[in-house]
Amino acid sequence: MIKIAMSVVMNTGHKIPLIGLGTFKIKGSDLVATVLEAAISSGYRAIDTASVYKNEADIGRNLKEILPKYDLKRKDIFITSKLGPKDHGKDKCRASCLKSIEVLQCDYLDLYLIHWPGGQGLQPSDTRHKDLRRESWQAMEQLYNEGKIKNIGVSNYLQRHIEELLEYCTIPPAVLQIEFHPHLQQKPLIEFCQEKNIFFQAYSSLGTSDDNNKLLTDEVVITISKKLQKTPAQVLLRWAIQQNIGVIPKSTNSQHIDENQKITNFSLSSEDMNSLNNLESSTHYCWNPECVL
C-alpha cells in the first residue's frame, strides 16, 4: 500500500492537514454543531470556512464547546477562512479578516485566502480587479506579519493571476484552493504550483450535491469502488491525496463524514489511477475564473 503523510509542510514551514472538512452551505447552529461533532470525533483536524458561507459564528461558538470534549485546544485545529469578493481592497480586507477572527472566537487564523480573483460588482474585464487583488494581498501580508494569519493564499486563481501576484508580493502564497477532480484535472496549474512550492488544495472533489452528480455516478468511479469495496467518494478523495493534493470534502451525513476521512488504509493501483486520469473533460461543476481579468 502507498503510504501518505497526513499533513504537508507549506512554504512557510507550517503544516496543513491533507484532509479537512468543507463547510460550504452548512448553516444553522444545530446543523453546524452536529457536523463539527461528527468531524472532530472522526479525526478531522482542519475546518474550512469563508465569510460568504455565513457560518463562521456558529463554527466558532460550537468549536468552543466541542474541542474540550476531545481534550483538544485551539492549536490542535487548523482553521481556514476566506476574503469575500465584496471585501476586496486594503481597508475592507483587513476589517473582514479581523471580523472573521472575532466571530470564529480565535486569536488567529491558520490560513486566510482571497476567495475570488475579482471584486464584486465589477465586470469581469474591469482592470480594477488587478488593483483590488494587490491591495487585498498587501493587507494580508500586514496581518501575516502581525501574527493574525499564520499562512496566506488564494482560491480560484489561475496561473496568470498567480504570476501577477508573484511579481509584487513579499510573501508568496502558501496555498491555492481550486476546483479539482477527475473531470477537471488542471495538470498545467498543478505543475506550476509544484514549481513555485504552492500547496494545491482541491474543492468540489466529489462534484456537486445535486441528484445528478456526474462524478459519484461515473461508471469508472463506481467500478473501482466496487472492486475495492470502498465508496465512490472514498475513491475520488483517495485519487487526489495519492497525488499529494489536499481535499476538503463537505457532508452533513455523519456516516459520510467518517467515511470521507478513512482514505489512508487503501491504495489505488496504477491502473486505477490511469483510468481516473482518463476521465479528464475540462468540466467545471462550480465557478470558472477564466473570465476574470
Provide the annotated binding site for substrate: 115
Which residue numbers belong to the known binding site? 115
SS (H, E, C) 13-78: CCEEECECEECCCCCCHHHHHHHHHHHHHHCCCEEECCHHHCCHHHHHHHHHHHHHHHCCCHHHCE
Task: Please name the helix (run of DSSP H) or strand (run of DSSP E) that holds residue 201, with its range, or none.
Answer: strand 199-203
Cell of 84: 469575500
Catalytic residues: 53
Secondary structure of 244-268 as H, E, C letters: CCEECCCCCCHHHHHHHCCCCCCCC
What distance in Å separates the CA atoms of residue 118 and residue 126, rounded to the nearest whole number?
A: 9
The C-alpha atoms of residue 240 and residue 202 are separated, in whole angstroms, by 8
By the 10 Å C-beta count (0-12 exposed, 13-18 middle, 19+ buried), 167 is classed as exposed
